[in-house]
Amino acid sequence: MDTANATATNRVRLYVNGERVTNFDTSTDPSLDYTTYANNNVAHYIGLNTSDGLDGYLADIHFIDGQALDPTSFGEFSATTGVWNPKAYAGTYGTNGFRLTFADNSAATATTLGKDAAGSNNWTPTNLSV
């Protein structure tokens, strides 16, 4: 998300397996310099919106503060198979950025399952057990 982008259709970009998704049934672009809840002083949730939980699987979550990166920062196509594969992110996370790897599943706490592998922005797991 980059609401400061002069091109409205480039303010929010979605990529699946390295390819940008641009074909939506409906699309509403945020106004220029729109202030979102993300990265503001409000509660943040991963995998939950106001009424529904995520029916899916999340792993190795990166939140980059202050940069709008393209997918090649996080993955690449295999020259042999043509399949999109993750790669190690080598950049910075910014002040409020974080990386959740879920590597320590010894307990559902902010210093184990919710530990920020990029710094000190640990998350508190809610309604999870290990």
**pLDDT digit string, tens, across residues 24-58:** 999 999 999 999 888 888 888 888 766 677 778 88
Distance CA 3, CA 37 (A): 12
Residue found by looking up tokens 């939140």 in the block: 63
Helix (H) or strand (E) holding 77: strand 75-77
Contact in structure between 116 and 98 (CB atoms under 8 Å): yes
Task: Write down the pLDDT at residue 50.
Answer: 62
Q: What is the pLDDT of residues 68-116, one digit of tens each?
A: 899 999 999 999 999 999 999 999 999 999 999 999 999 999 999 999 9
Residue 120 has pLDDT above 90, yes or no: no
Task: Write down the pLDDT at residue 49.
Answer: 66
